[in-house]
Amino acid sequence: MIRDYSSTLIVQEVAPRDGLQIEPTWVETRDKIALINQLSLAGFTRIEAGSFVSPKAIPALRDGEQVFQGIQRQPGVIYVALIPNLKGAQRALAANADELNLVMSVSQTHNLANMRMRREQSLAGFGEIVAAVQGQPVSLNASVATAFGCPFEGRIDEDDVMRIVDAYLALGVQGVTLADTTGMANPRQVERMVARVLTRLPADALTLHFHNTRGLGLCNVLAAYEVGARRFDSALGGLGGCPFAPGASGNICTEDLVNLCEEVGIPTGIDLPHLLQLSRTLPALLGHELPGQVAKAGRNCDLHAAPVGLID
């Protein structure tokens, strides 16, 4: 079978948000800004640049205002802020975020652990946010966390996910994300869910957010792309994870994803050498190695000199 890989895969870079939120080492505001400024030059059209959540919940991102106000915005790049509630939306608007990413979990247990709210309270709060941003120059995306499995509840009912997607669409959001918070998705499940959600909204309004916790992240991307998904979150170096989900680990790695796309011929518009250079600065910034593989191995085309003295 010949597959059509000609349509662009849009990568939303989430290292400044999902990536840094779980890091134990404080990253200085100026270093966050420098990272985002570099990412802005690598060809991304969307960067999740931070979150406006309780600083007690996520101390690592408590400087969201300074970050959003300090970055050099590149034309054509949408700078997204993750928010849990109306207070977060007000902070993000004041900081000139281009898009608000509202988040709740389909799993009641994970929503209580992560947001300290029941799902109904999260949804009611999102209603207030929609009313509050009327007429403001900002778009809304809404994420369904634990959409493919929950570390507390296990299997997630796919109809429950659809009910939340429908509730989001009824609120009038422009985009929806299905998030695999702790890497429990498998490619067949992904195909099924993407096909279902694409009956409700166009491909350019759906984002898939995979973590590589069980090594299936890029398999899931390809499975989703092949049934029509076109937008994916990933993090430089494979950073990331939710501090309120036991066993959470990194997002799919951006440079590994872009490398996959280059190898199979899917356009991304992203400058892979620039990303690799940037990714290789992360261990010094964060004080540990990162899970990303291509930054360590090099691209297929980064060849080595043959050993001297070979006899043919």
Structure token digits, residue 167: 């509730």
Site for ligand COA in 127-166 (CB under 6 A): 145
25, with CB counted inside 10 A (0-12, 13-18, 19+), is: exposed
Partner from Zn ion, ligand COA, none binding residue 178, C-beta < 5-8 Å depending on class: none
CB atoms within 10 A of CB 162: 17
Q: Are 46 and 12 in contact (CB under 8 A)?
A: yes
- CA dist 28 and 33 (Å) reads 9
Report the residue from 115, 130, 197, 248 that binds ligand COA according to the rule CB under 6 A. Answer: 115
How many residues sit in the footprint of ligand COA (CB under 6 A)? 21
240 alpha-carbon distance from chain centroid: 9
- Choose, by CB under 6 A, the member of 9, 49, 77, 103 that binds ligand COA: 103
Encoded tokens for 143: 């994420």
Cβ closest to ligand COA, residue 43 vs residue 84: 84
CA distances from 244 to 2, 25, 44 (A): 42, 17, 28
> In the complex, what is the shortest distance from the CB of residue 36 to ligand COA, in angstroms, rounded to a whole number?
18
Q: Which of 127, 54, 140 is nearest to 93 (CA)?
A: 140
Q: Does 52 bind ligand COA (CB under 6 A)?
A: yes
Q: From the CB of 1, what's the least distance to ligand COA, in Å?
A: 38
Residue 141 interaction partner, one of ligand COA, Zn ion, none, beta carbon < 5-8 Å per kind: none
* Residue 88 found at the interface with ligand COA (CB under 6 A): yes
Residues marked as catalytic = 242
According to DSSP, the β-strands at 206-210 and 78-83 are: unpaired
User: In the complex, what is the shortest distance from the CB of residue 85 to ligand COA, in angstroms, rounded to a whole number?
Assistant: 5
Cα 223-110-155 angle, rounded to 5 deg: 45
Q: What is the contact surface with Zn ion in residues (CB under 5 A)? A: 18
At 75, the amino acid letter reads P
CB 304, min distance to ligand COA, A: 41
**What is the Cα 284 distance to its own chain's centre?**
23
Q: Which of 40, 85, 111, 146 contacts ligand COA by CB under 6 A? A: 85
How far apart CA 228 and CA 205 sit, in angstroms, is 12
Residue 121 makes contact with ligand COA by CB under 6 A: no
Using CB under 6 A, which residues numbered 211 to 270 contact ligand COA?
Answer: 242, 244
- Report the distance separating Cα 191 and Cα 56, nearest Å: 37
Q: How far is the CB of 181 from Zn ion (least distance, A)?
A: 6
Return the CA Rg of the chain.
Answer: 19
- The amino acid that residue 235 corresponds to is A
Shortest distance (Å) from residue 113 CB to ligand COA: 9
**18 or 23, CB closer to Zn ion?**
18
Instruction: Using the minimum distance from each CB to Zn ion, give the nearer residue, 228 or 243.
Output: 243
Binding footprint of ligand COA on the chain (CB under 6 A): 21, 51-55, 57-58, 82, 84-85, 87-88, 91, 103, 114-116, 145, 242, 244
